[in-house]
Amino acid sequence: MSPKPRSGRYRHGRAGNHAPPPRRRRRWPWVVVGTFVVLGGIAAVGGIFGLQALEVRDDLMLAKAKLGSLTEAYKIGDAAQMQAIGTETLELTAQANETVQGPLWDMASAVPFVGANVAAVKSATEATHIIVRDALPSGIELLGIMSPDKLKVEGGGINLAPFQQAQLTLPQVKGVLAEAQTKIAGIDRAALLPVVDDAVGQLISVVDQAGPLLDTAEQLLPIALRMAGSEGPRNYLVVFQNNAEIRATGGNAATSTVIHTDAGKIQKVEDETVEDFYLAGVNGRLRSDLPDETLELYEADFTRNAQNFTRTPDFPTTASMFSQLWTQTNDTQLDGVISIDPVALSYMLAATGPVPLEDGSEINAENAVKLLLSDTYERFGTNGLAADAYFADVSSRVFDKIASGSWSPTAMIDQVMRSVEEQRIYAWFPREDENAIVTEFNVDGALPADNVEATQIGMYLNDASYSKLEYYLSTSMNVTCDPTARTVTTSLTMNSTVPGNDLSGYTLAWRNNSLGLPRTTMILDVLSVAPPGSTITSIDPADGDIKRWNRDGVEKGHPLASRTMLLEMGESKTVSFTAALPEGPLGPLEVRYSPTVTQTPVTVDASCAALFPAAE
């Protein structure tokens, strides 16, 4: 499987980028019949030929417009309209293809200078017709059986039959694409006029991109079906990270749900096995196998309570801890661990619509974050157990809505990808081929072993005040480079908008009184994590605000330094570190951070372009 661009985190692309690049969306196999524009205005060859060329252009432009309307027909589930679009598009491409088979096109192809352009238009037209004639019917059939109403199963889950049908259809679509590719393989784009190259190039780009995508789909689809329970039941742990009490990969992981999948049907597991697992996590029963060098980087509560398993920026380590705790508690194996935060839930609610709650109110995309991360704690005061129970109940109701499948797949995909790009979703699976999907879609949350695919640098936060004050925390990051010295400096700026002392005792910091600090002050362990093979040469401020809590070491080959910072109400502070990079080639720069309740802007200075290649 060829590596794909790692889109789930901010990646430095071109020199001078000062904002995250636009979101990329993966194309689904049936989109290969999407955008085809082949212009035919080469009237200089002759009047009749010129008219034919214009007819070909008009036919293909209209075909493109009709294909563009497929998306709307799919969204409303109008199978008849999709079939009509397919029929009309085929008529147009067949007409264009018949025209370019005429003798004038062969003659025009031999004319000096313009001949290459005519031949390119002819080849592109033939390729377009092959795809529309032989692949579009299968694509429309799949769209029909993948309409939102047909993907749902009673009781919650996803109907796997359409995806199993897609698995059978993919080889045929790949064959059609290969045939079309032979038609355009000989086009010399350097010999084309700009207007022709621009049009024909669109088709060539689509075909070139579709091949690898179809290969990936053919490899991943069987694995995804097994993960959905096509070959037997699976059990997954879904962890909800609470950003209001921030942790390296998101937040306090006190709430989790075990879900059972079987033949696409999804159900929550609510029995004594889950209760035993929860109690074991609260009571610190994990028998950890982590090395001492890792344990020494974090507070002693790291392995004592499941809510602190997310202190490490390496999500596979976190997932392994949860998996070990489950096995030690129930003597069975989890099939995977998935992590999301309330902000990701709010995005998903934009796709599902609002969810009614027990008290008659509702949770929706607009109020979800405030409801879960602020209102809950103000409502229940110092009764943390009640707050956690409410949080768990609401999260469970939202999960039920998501598991029901009563939403638009395309809208949900958009929201999930948005969450991935903001580093709000991570996953880990013990089976190697299944975990490859996690890496493919860049939701592994891993500290990589080398700098080949990407040179990863990060700054992460762990709450050390035992509070929910980080609901009022926002952050931004800045990266600059010194190519001559081969160093990179990363800065994290933290801003507190805590409104005052008039907050519940559960929101305010519990640890602060023992340190003589106001309960409105955030205590944050700032983790500076350098790329593997590098050296942290400086930290500013060198000793943070509580020197005795400094921790330095290595995790998964990455140099790591922890400095504790005090962030008072309304205050802003910046922590920076400089790393000397190892010799040898470096992959594109990848910046990671702990997601807060707001987005984290990342700025990469143009000076870094000389050290890191542009992300593809």
Reading the block at residue 165, the tokens are 């049908």
Instruction: Give the residue-averaged pLDDT of 257-277.
Output: 90
Q: Where are the alpha helices (DSSP H) in 331-383?
A: 342-352, 368-370, 376-380
The per-residue pLDDT for 195 is: 66
The per-residue pLDDT for 26 is: 37
Residues of the chain with pLDDT > 70, as a percent, come to 89
Angle at 161 between CA 155 and CA 167, to 5 degrees: 145
Q: 111-120, 270-279, 521-530, 531-540: lowest mean pLDDT where? A: 111-120
Of 156, 596, 597, 595, nearest in space to 368 by CA: 597
The per-residue pLDDT for 565 is: 98
Q: Is the pLDDT of residue 1 over 60?
A: no
Reading the block at residue 522, the tokens are 């955030």
Residue 425: pLDDT band (50, 70, 90) is: very high
Distances (CA, A) of 54 to 5, 133, 477, 542, 574: 39, 22, 53, 70, 62
Buried b (16+ CB within 10 A) or exposed e, 490-529: bbbbbbbebeeeebbebbbbeebeeeebebbbbbbbbbbb
The per-residue pLDDT for 80 is: 85
Q: Is the pLDDT of residue 116 over 80?
A: yes
Of 392, 402, 321, nearest in space to 355 by CA: 402
**Mean pLDDT, the chain, whole residue set:** 86
Q: Is the pLDDT of residue 440 over 90?
A: no
State the angle between helix axes of 115-134 and 161-184 in degrees (0 to 180), rounded to the nearest 10. 160
Q: Is the pLDDT of residue 23 over 80?
A: no
In the three-class reduction of DSSP (H, G, I as helix; E, B as strand; rest coil), residue 362 is classed as strand
> For the segment 127-175, what is each residue's pLDDT rounded down to a tens digit?
888 888 988 888 777 777 666 666 776 667 788 888 888 888 888 888 8
CATH of 234-421, one of 1.20.210.10, 3.40.630.190, 3.40.50.1980, 3.60.20.10: 3.40.630.190
Burial class (CB in 10 A: 0-12, 13-18, 19+), 44: exposed
Q: Residue 605, by phi and psi: left (phi above 0), alpha (psi -120 to 50) or beta?
A: beta
By DSSP bridging, strand 234-247 and strand 337-340 are parallel
List 564's β-bridge partners, or say none.
525
Judge contact between 371 and 363, C-beta under 8 A: yes
Q: Is the pLDDT of residue 43 over 50?
A: no
Q: What are phi and psi of 251, to 5 degrees?
A: -175, 180
Q: Is the pLDDT of residue 223 over 50?
A: yes
Reading the block at residue 198, the tokens are 């621009």
CA–CA dist 571, 495 (Å, integer): 6
Judge contact between 213 and 26, C-beta under 8 A: yes
CA–CA dist 563, 247 (Å, integer): 14
Q: Where are the domains of the chain?
A: 34-227, 234-421, 447-610
Reading the block at residue 346, the tokens are 């709010």
Token pair 């009022």 in the structure block, residue? 472
Q: Is the pLDDT of residue 5 over 70?
A: no
Q: What are phi and psi of 514, to 5 degrees?
A: -70, -15
For residue 154, give every residue at least 6 positions away whose Cβ sits within 8 Å of its Cβ, in sequence order, or none.
none
The per-residue pLDDT for 207 is: 73
Chain center to CA of 83: 33
Of 268, 271, 260, 264, nearest in space to 235 by CA: 260
The per-residue pLDDT for 193 is: 67
**Looking at per-residue confidence, does 610 or 208 come out higher?**
610
CA–CA dist 253, 310 (Å, integer): 7
Residue type, 22: P
Residue 231: pLDDT band (50, 70, 90) is: very high
